[in-house]
Structure 1
Amino acid sequence: MIVNKIGFSAEKYIEEQSKHILERIDSGESERLYLEFGGKLVHDKHAMRVLPGFDENAKIKLLQKMSDHAEIIICIYAGDITTNKTRQDFGITYDLEVLRLIDTFRKYDLAINSVVVTRYEEQPAVDMFINKLNRRDIRTYKHKVTKGYPTDVDLIVSEEGYGANPYIEVTKPLVVVTGPGGGSGKLATCLSQLYHDYRLGAKVRYAKFETFPIWNLPLKHPVNVAYEAATADLKDVNMIDSFHLEAYGEKAVNYNRDLEVFPIVKRIIEKITGEESEYQSPTDMGVNRAGFGITEDEVCREAAKQEIIRRYFIAECNYKKGKIEGDALERCKLLMDEIGVKPSDRAVVQPARDYAEKKRNCDKRYENVVVMAIEMPDGSFVTGRSSRRMVASAAAILNAIKNLAGIGDDMPLIPYTALQAIQYLRTDILNQDRSSLNCEEILSALTISATTNPAAQMAMQKLLLLKGCRVHCTAILSDKDEQVLNSLGLDVTCDPEYVTTNLYFG
Structure 2
Amino acid sequence: MKIGFDNEMYIERQAARIRERVEEFGGKLYLEFGGKLFDDYHAARVLPGFEPDVKLRMLKSMVDEVEIVQVINAGHIEKNKLRGDLGITYDEDLLRLRNIFIDLGFYCGGVVLTQYEGQPNATAFIHRLENMGIPCYRHKTISGYPYDIEHIVSDDGYGQNEYVKTTRPIVVVTAPGPGSGKMATCLSQLYAENMRGVKAGYAKYETFPVWNLPLDHPVNIAYESATVDLDDVNAIDPFHLEAYGISSVNYNRDIEIFPVLKAMLEKMLGESPYKSPTDMGVNNIAAAIVDEEAVCDAAKNEIVRRYFQCAVKALRTGMGENEAKKALFLMNKAGVNVNLSPAHSAALLRAETSGGQAGAMVLPDGRIITGKTSTLLNASSSVLLNALKAQAGIDDATYVISDAALEPICDLRTQQLGHRNPHLHPSEMLIALSTSSLTSPLAKETIAHASELRGCDAYFSSIIPTEDERLFRTLGINVCCEPRFDVAHSLMY
TM-score past 0.5 threshold: yes
Q: Secondary structure at the match of 1:417?
A: helix
Q: What CA distance in whole angstroms lies between the structure 2 residues aligned with 1:501 and 1:82?
A: 39
- Corresponding position: 1:459 with 2:477: no
State how many pairs are aligned. 493
For 1:447-484, what per-residue CA distance to the aligned partner results, in whole angstroms no more than 9, with x for missing partners? 12111110000111111111111111223333332222
Q: What CA distance in whole angstroms lies between the structure 2 residues aligned with 1:142 and 1:324?
A: 34
Deviation of 1:201 (Å): 2.7
Deviation of 1:128 (Å): 4.6
For 1:224-250, what per-residue CA distance to the aligned partner results, in whole angstroms no more than 9, with x for missing partners? 111111111111111111111111111
Q: What CA distance in whole angstroms lies between the structure 2 residues aligned with 1:356 and 1:339?
A: 28
User: TM-score by structure 2 length?
Assistant: 0.93
Q: What CA distance in whole angstroms lies between the structure 2 residues aligned with 1:214 and 1:283?
A: 10
For 1:314-338, what per-residue CA distance to the aligned partner results, in whole angstroms no more than 9, with x for missing partners? 1112222338532222211111111
For 1:340-377, what per-residue CA distance to the aligned partner results, in whole angstroms no more than 9, with x for missing partners? 111111221111111112112xxxxxxxx322211111
Q: Secondary structure at the match of 1:5?
A: coil
Q: What CA distance in whole angstroms lies between the structure 1 residues aligned with 2:421 and 2:118?
A: 40
Q: What CA distance in whole angstroms lies between the structure 2 residues aligned with 1:83 and 1:505?
A: 35
Report the more deviating stretch, 113-122 or 21-30.
113-122
Identity in percent: 45
Question: Is the contact between residue 15 and residue 61 of structure 2 (CA under 8 Å) also seen in structure 1?
Answer: no
Residues 359 and 340 of structure 1: CA distance in aligned 2, closer, same or farther (over 3 Å)? same
Matching residue of 2:462: 475
Matches within 5 A, 1:91-106: 91-106=87-102
For 1:390-428, what per-residue CA distance to the aligned partner results, in whole angstroms no more than 9, with x for missing partners? 332222111111112222233222222322211322343
Deviation of 1:445 (Å): 1.9
Deviation of 1:99 (Å): 2.9
Question: Is the contact between residue 45 and residue 56 of structure 1 (CA under 8 Å) also seen in structure 2?
Answer: yes
Q: What CA distance in whole angstroms lies between the structure 1 residues aligned with 2:492 and 2:211?
A: 42
Q: Secondary structure at the match of 2:20?
A: helix
For 1:254-275, what per-residue CA distance to the aligned partner results, in whole angstroms no more than 9, with x for missing partners? 11000011111111122122x1
Q: Secondary structure at the match of 1:436?
A: coil
Q: Secondary structure at the match of 2:2?
A: coil
Residues 503 and 143 of structure 1: CA distance in aligned 2, closer, same or farther (over 3 Å)? farther
Matching residue of 1:286: 281
Residues 130 and 374 of structure 1: CA distance in aligned 2, closer, same or farther (over 3 Å)? farther
Unaligned 5+ segments in structure 1 are 361-368
- Corresponding position: 1:235 with 2:231: yes
Letter in 1 for 2:234: N
Question: Is the contact between residue 213 and residue 224 of structure 1 (CA under 8 Å) also seen in structure 2?
Answer: yes
Deviation of 1:432 (Å): 5.8
Q: What CA distance in whole angstroms lies between the structure 2 residues aligned with 1:328 and 1:85?
A: 19
Residues 251 and 404 of structure 1: CA distance in aligned 2, closer, same or farther (over 3 Å)? same
For 1:287-308, what per-residue CA distance to the aligned partner results, in whole angstroms no more than 9, with x for missing partners? 0111111222222222111111
- Corresponding position: 1:186 with 2:182: yes
Matches within 5 A, 1:381-400: 381-387=368-374, 389-400=376-387
Question: Is the contact between residue 15 and residue 62 of structure 2 (CA under 8 Å) also seen in structure 1?
Answer: no
Q: Secondary structure at the match of 1:372?
A: strand
Letter in 2 for 1:139: P
Letter in 2 for 1:452: T
Q: 1:260 aligns with which of 256, 262, 266?
A: 256
* Cα root mean square deviation, aligned: 2.4
Q: What CA distance in whole angstroms lies between the structure 1 residues aligned with 2:127 and 2:51?
A: 35
Question: Is the contact between residue 91 and residue 482 of structure 1 (CA under 8 Å) also seen in structure 2?
Answer: no
Matching residue of 1:14: 11
- Corresponding position: 1:487 with 2:483: no
For 1:19-78, what per-residue CA distance to the aligned partner results, in whole angstroms no more than 9, with x for missing partners? 100101123424x21000111111111111112222221110011112112111222334
Deviation of 1:83 (Å): 4.8
Matches within 5 A, 1:275-424: 275-322=270-317, 325-360=320-355, 369-387=356-374, 389-424=376-411
Residues 343 and 111 of structure 1: CA distance in aligned 2, closer, same or farther (over 3 Å)? same
Question: Is the contact between residue 372 and residue 396 of structure 1 (CA under 8 Å) also seen in structure 2?
Answer: yes
User: TM-score by structure 1 length?
Assistant: 0.91
Deviation of 1:492 (Å): 1.6
Letter in 2 for 1:461: A
Matching residue of 2:147: 151
Question: Is the contact between residue 350 and residue 359 of structure 2 (CA under 8 Å) also seen in structure 1?
Answer: no
- Corresponding position: 1:48 with 2:35: no
Unaligned 5+ segments in structure 2 are none
For 1:126-147, what per-residue CA distance to the aligned partner results, in whole angstroms no more than 9, with x for missing partners? 4454444444443333333222
For 1:474-497, what per-residue CA distance to the aligned partner results, in whole angstroms no more than 9, with x for missing partners? 233333322221121111222223
Question: Is the contact between residue 179 and residue 186 of structure 1 (CA under 8 Å) also seen in structure 2?
Answer: yes
Question: Is the contact between residue 91 and residue 479 of structure 1 (CA under 8 Å) also seen in structure 2?
Answer: no
Q: What CA distance in whole angstroms lies between the structure 1 residues aligned with 2:489 and 2:153?
A: 53
Q: Secondary structure at the match of 1:344?
A: coil
